[in-house]
Structure 1
Amino acid sequence: MKIGILLVGRATDDLVEKYGTYAEMLISLINSKEEVFEFKTFNILDSVLPKNHLECDGWIVTGSPHGVYEEHSWIPTVSELINDIYHASLPIFGVCFGHQLIAPAGLAAMLRNPLRAGVWVCIPMKLIIRQTIWVICQKS
């Protein structure tokens, strides 16, 4: 299975030196015992994008120091790609910032938590079995 990693953030130099990029950290974590998956990293910040959402069998969107509601030229492009991935029913996983970008594709909204500074809350628009699911992510 080929996993595409949408690298949407840069780790600090000291983290990269010790652990690698966000993509390398994820690959190391997922393939820690044996190489189960093939990975291809797309460095979005350097305008390296997949041809389309079908280029890989599954997707990971990394964390980022950026905010999902900040105005960056690449966010709408990545959001459209995520929407295509979601609606094609391909597996997709987001880490912190990544899950905040994925939320709108699944009909959810990301809102700042007024009770805790720096914390975002993912609120699904659709209730499943009378439950509201809250996903909390510490914003970098």
Structure 2
Amino acid sequence: MKLALLETDILPPDLAGPFGGYGLMFQQLFERAGIEVESTIFSVIQGIYPERPQDFDALLVTGSKADAFSDAPWVLRLADFLRGRQGAGQKLIGICFGHQLLAHSLGGRCERSDKGWGVGVMEYGWQNKPAWLKAQGEAFRLIASHQDQVTALPPGASLLAASAFCPLAAFHIQDQVLALQGHPEFTPAYGKALLRKRWADIGEGRSQAALESFEGGHDGLAIARLMADFIRC
């Protein structure tokens, strides 16, 4: 399985030192999950793209502090690229910012949420289970850190998972596009470090509750296996 990791952020030095970057986090996630995948990281925020994207089984768009509805040139270029790859029939996966950008670029909508920050480990309920989704149970838990939310799904999309805080938390377009708001690649150590960095912006009460939520664990490994099943289907 060949996967292109389209990295959409550069971590500040205090986070990059111990944690690397989002592309590396996905590589480590698949390794922990026991998934054999040949992956290559492309820093699209720096304008680096795969020369032959068709050689990959799927393209995965990582998280970012940027807004999916931004008019920054690199965001507009990436949105145009994703529309082209979707039109070519390539499998696409989006996580957090990637989830939002896929929705926004394919005809849906993403915007700043009036609910404020979604942080800590959050639970999402499955709304439907396509054939490639072999997940057990009715819900899953992932680490979250976002202010923006998808508020309208793109044409042809089906809602995959939801919560009261994030009603459009995951969607798919048949067996070609898979997008999730939560972060399967985040470890609790990184989630806590990012939370502490944003603590003042998020606010004391919500930050403290988010910190306590890490005690219950999360389902990142299960979602990694789900993504692999989606790519193979």
- TM-score range normalised by the length of the shorter chain: 0.7 to 0.9
Aligned to 2:16: 16
Structure 2 counterparts to residues 82-101 of structure 1, below 5 A: 82-101=82-101
Structure 2 counterparts to residues 55-134 of structure 1, below 5 A: 55-116=55-116, 118-126=147-155, 134=168
Q: Structure 2: how far apart are the matches of 1:119 and 1:80?
A: 20
Instruction: Output the TM-score relative to the length of structure 2.
Output: 0.51
Q: CA deviation at 1:43?
A: 0.9
Unaligned runs of 5+ in 1: none
Q: CA deviation at 1:44?
A: 1.4
Quick one: percent identity of the two aligned structures? 21
Contact 2:27/2:39 (8 A) holds in 1: yes
Q: When you count helix as a share of all residues, which structure comes out higher?
A: 2
Give the alignment partner of residue 135 of structure 1, picking from 150, 154, 169.
Answer: 169
Letter in 1 for 2:40: K
Contact 2:6/2:42 (8 A) holds in 1: yes
Q: Structure 2: how far apart are the matches of 1:86 and 1:122?
A: 21
Q: CA deviation at 1:95?
A: 1.5
Q: Structure 1: how far apart are the matches of 2:152 and 2:92?
A: 18
Q: CA deviation at 1:5?
A: 0.7
Structure 2 counterparts to residues 33-44 of structure 1, below 5 A: 33-34=33-34, 36-44=36-44
Letter in 1 for 2:152: I
Superposed CA offset, 1:30-86 (max 9, x none): 122546010111111222112243132101101111112223221122112211222
Q: CA deviation at 1:111?
A: 2.6
Unaligned runs of 5+ in 2: 118-146, 171-180, 183-197, 199-233
- SS of residue in 1 equivalent to 2:32: coil
- SS of residue in 2 equivalent to 1:41: strand
Superposed CA offset, 1:92-118 (max 9, x none): 211211111111344321133234362
Q: Output the aligned Cα RMSD.
A: 2.8
Instruction: Output the TM-score relative to the length of structure 1.
Output: 0.80
Q: Structure 1: how far apart are the matches of 2:46 and 2:111?
A: 28
Q: CA deviation at 1:14?
A: 2.3
- SS of residue in 1 equivalent to 2:63: coil
- SS of residue in 2 equivalent to 1:31: helix
Contact 1:53/1:84 (8 A) holds in 2: no
Q: Structure 1: how far apart are the matches of 2:114 and 2:8?
A: 26
